[in-house]
Amino acid sequence: MLFSFPVTSRTQNILPDWRQFTAHFRYLASDQLQGRGTGTPGAEMAAQYIADQLSSFGVVPVQENYSFYQYIPMHRSRPLPGTVLTIMDSAEATPETLQVAEDFLIYRGGNQASLVHPVPLVFVGYGIVAPEFDYDDYQDINVAGKMVLFLEGEPASADADFFNGDQTTAYAYAEAKQRIAISKGAVGTIMVMECPEDEAGWSRFQQEFYFEDISLAYQVAGPLSLLLNPGRTRQLTRSSLSACDLYTEVREFRYQPRELPVQVSFTGYFQNHDFLSANVVGLVPAGKNRSEETILISAHYDHLGIGMAVNGDSIYNGLQDNALGVAMTLELARYFARHAGVLQRDLIFLLTTGEEKGLLGAQYYVDHPLRPLYKTVANLNIDGVASIDEFREVIGVGAELSDLGMLLYKIASVNGLREVQIPPGFQKNESFARSDQIAFARGGIPAINILDGPAYKNFSDEQGVRVLAEWFDNYYHTPFDDLKQNISREGISQHFDLLRQYIELVANYTGKIEWNPNTEYYHIRLQTIAEKR
């Protein structure tokens, strides 16, 4: 495709106002906001701060009521003591009970689910049906009216034609496995977490699932979905088979789907509450040759809130995830509010709530867009900022899916940056599905998240990858993602200018920005265009 604009050399660097940038993230990641948990006073304070900042920049509300807030009805649920999974292996035996939090966790659907009468339990390996790979874990087994037990993950492969080789496919996600099970008539699912059966690994899941489950109020509650402590596997198999034994059996293709010699029932007690949370939305109108099209720039302002204490700290501040991303988005809004004359397309700045609870704010916007989806030509999602160091590489999460990747390549080239893939160990498909860009993609909007690659000015390539891996292992979704971390002013400034150039490029590009035809989102886009939705 030919470019219809001149981009021949690097433009002059434009840097964010560092004093303002610092003020943003220091406030948003402070203990005062208590981790910005969805629906908490701290999150409301963050939303108010963002709205006040947008107003001060001259960004205007999009909505007819002149409010920056797009209010979203939500529902929260927390399991209470006494919530148990009961196991029976014969009519005469004394039932055994597993306790919530200690022995299992509730993934989804528990707040309205119950299994009063015991039902059979069936083991189905990974719980995957993938016709394109000639793979079916449900072959020759009937699971209608039963619970299914499956393993985390998917078959490992070195063959790109079998489960995409070393790249994760959609079949690995628990939600995909749950949908398959329910389509087969199952009444619920239990996923056995990856072995080894160590308490440290289970403690990390307890930490993650300590927080309340939150959903959009209008979403239909799903079937019962549980996560099993791997150390409790023998109670369900009623054998010497551990979680690791089951994984070995399945990985070596030595297993058959089978009904286990137990029945299970579930009794749940929950604390439920309905509330409102808000996306914060502002508009920068284009200043010249204005079209009716919009660029959507998003970042989530929520984090996890108050959670399980780790080393005496229970505030999950979320500096990197995503106070820095919000600060970046605010400073981009400030810049473009002052330089709207360079734009041919409007910019909507969308600061979302509930991302950590299942991309709720982004999903609500797609369901209730403030500008038509089919006239929203692109989404740039900002979740992750170059805070380590100046970078020599750039990663476009989702770049290979649409023309947005071609535009990123052009910007990277004029800035002397190599465009690279996500390093091994940081799965490409999983990364695109882990933040708000996937919600906009499912609404048909071409979407991308632009990150720094692991090659840094002051680190070796090996050190760069190690620093990233250590952050995910030791800081991600913990209380240690806080203001004590070192932040590179140079890296952030470089990232700001790269995103600024990219937004200008997309806003003024006169060609069509489309999904690649071989993606599922291409057909969604055609549908929104046909429906003028």
pLDDT tens for 295-344 read 999 999 999 999 999 999 999 999 999 999 999 999 999 999 999 998 99
**Backbone dihedral region of 510: left (phi > 0), alpha (psi from -120 to 50 degrees) or beta?**
alpha
State which amino acid sits at residue 318: G
CA distance 342 to 340: 5
d(CA 102, CA 183): 30
Structural domain harbouring 371: 18-74+277-531
Residue matched to tokens 């927080």: 211
Provide the H-helix boundaries in 229-378: 233-237, 243-251, 324-338, 360-367
Is residue 217 a part of any domain in this protein? Answer: yes
The radius of gyration computed from the CA coordinates of the chain, to the nearest angstrom, equals 24
Co-location of 349 and 470 in the same domain: yes
Instruction: Say whether both 64 and 85 belong to one domain.
Output: no
Closest Cα partner for 229 from 241, 240, 242? 242
Q: Which phi and psi (to 5°) does residue 176 adopt?
A: -65, -40
Question: CATH number, domain at 181?
Answer: 3.50.30.30
Q: What is the pLDDT of residue 14?
A: 85
- Identify whether residues 310 and 418 lie together within a single domain: yes
Inter-residue contact 222 to 108 (CB < 8 Å): yes
pTM of the model: 0.90
Establish if 293 belongs to a structural domain.
yes
Q: How far apart are CA 68 and CA 54, in angstroms?
A: 9
Q: What is the CATH number of the domain that holds 426?
A: 3.40.630.10
Question: Do 370 and 260 reside in the same domain of the chain?
Answer: no
pLDDT at position 90 is: 72
Shared domain check, 463 and 347: yes
Residues of the chain with pLDDT under 50: 1-10, 428-429
Look at residue 10 and tell me if it is in a domain. Answer: no
Task: List the structure tokens of 377.
Answer: 């030509």
Rounded Cα distance, 527 and 533, in Å: 8
Distance CA 77, CA 211 (A): 9
Q: Are 411 and 510 found together in one domain? A: yes
Measured in degrees and rounded to the nearest 5, phi and psi for residue 112 equal -125, 15
Number of domains into which the chain is organized: 2
| Residue ending a domain, choose from 268, 299, 324 | 268
Cβ proximity of 374 and 533 under 8 Å: yes
Same domain membership, residue 329 and residue 304: yes
Handedness of CA 519, 521, 523, 526 (dihedral sign): negative
- Answer whether residue 443 is part of any domain: yes
Query: Over the stretch 419-477, which tens digit does the pLDDT of each residue have?
Result: 998 876 655 446 888 899 999 999 999 999 999 999 999 999 889 889 988 998 899 99
User: Does a structural domain hold residue 2?
Assistant: no
Question: Last residue of a domain, which of 238, 268, 298?
Answer: 268
Together in a domain, 246 and 325: no
Q: Are 254 and 335 part of one and the same domain?
A: no
Cα–Cα distance measured from residue 496 to residue 479, given in angstroms and rounded to the nearest whole number: 26
Residue 9 lies in a domain: no
The strand pairing partners of 349, in sequence order, are 282, 297
Say if 7 falls within a structural domain. Answer: no
As given in the structure block, the two tokens for residue 532 are 């003028």
Q: Are residues 358 and 432 in the same domain?
A: yes
Q: Which residue has the tokens 């307890």?
A: 206
Q: Do 237 and 322 have their domain in common?
A: no
Bridge partners for 365 per DSSP: none
Of 224, 250, 268, which residue is a domain's last?
268
pLDDT computed for residue 386 by the predictor: 96
- 5: in domain: no
- Quick one: 295 and 261 in the same domain? no
Cα–Cα separations (whole angstroms), residue 31 to 19, 47, 94: 20, 16, 48
